[in-house]
Amino acid sequence: MPDFITTIGLNHYIMLASLLFALGLLGVLTNRNVIRVLMSLELMMSAVSINLIAFNNFLHLSEGLAGHVLTIFILTVSAAEASVGLAIIIALYRAKSTADMNKFDLLKW
């Protein structure tokens, strides 16, 4: 088997993370349901944390676990973001009775 398949390096993780990030970007751009857009955003965020963990494991940072700590903070921020986002979606749904992105155009000119 070729070397690319049998030995897993840092490049593999970065490529996988960029693919997941691009798929999340595609979901954010194409979907019209607000909740699916929020889910795609979560996918993009955890794709970034794959990068942090992989760099931490392969590059031997001085105190060891800076990437892990940063990932924990990303986890915290994304939990806060998701709760506030869902609250905004629920308030919007009360006002407009729909979860369609294209209907939320009050600030559009």
Partner 1 sequence: MDSTFFWFFAVTSIAGAFGLVLSRSAIYSALSLIAVFMSIAGLYLLNNADFLAMAQVVIYAVGLTILMLFAIMFTGDKPLGYEGSNRSSKIIYCIIAAFFSALVIRTISDLNFSQVSGDFTAVQSTLMAKGSTAMLGNLLFGYYALPFELASILLLVAMIGAIVIAKKSFDTPSESGQPLDTQYRVDLASAPSQEVLDAMRKERMAESEARKESLKN
Identify residues 2-61 at the interface with partner 1 (CB under 8 A): 5-16, 18-27, 29-36, 38-40, 42-43, 46, 49-50, 53-54, 56-60
Structural contact between residues 88 and 80, judged by C-beta atoms closer than 8 angstroms: no
* Min separation Cβ 10 and partner 1, Å: 4
Specify the long-range contacts of residues 34-39, CB closer than 8 Å, at least 24 apart.
34/89, 34/92, 34/99, 34/100, 34/101, 34/104, 35/86, 35/89, 35/99, 37/101, 38/82, 38/85, 38/86, 38/89
Choose, by CB under 8 A, the member of 2, 41, 88, 105 that binds partner 1. Answer: 88
**Min CB(108)–partner 1 separation in Å:** 16
- Kindly tell me which residue out of 2, 41, 91, 105 binds partner 1, with binding defined by CB under 8 A: 91
Residues shown for the chain? 109
**Is there binding between residue 99 and partner 1 (CB under 8 A)?**
yes
Of the candidates 2, 95, 105, 109, which one interacts with partner 1 according to CB under 8 A?
Answer: 95
| 94 near partner 1, judged by CB under 8 A | yes
User: Contact at 8 Å (CB) between 16 and 53?
Assistant: no
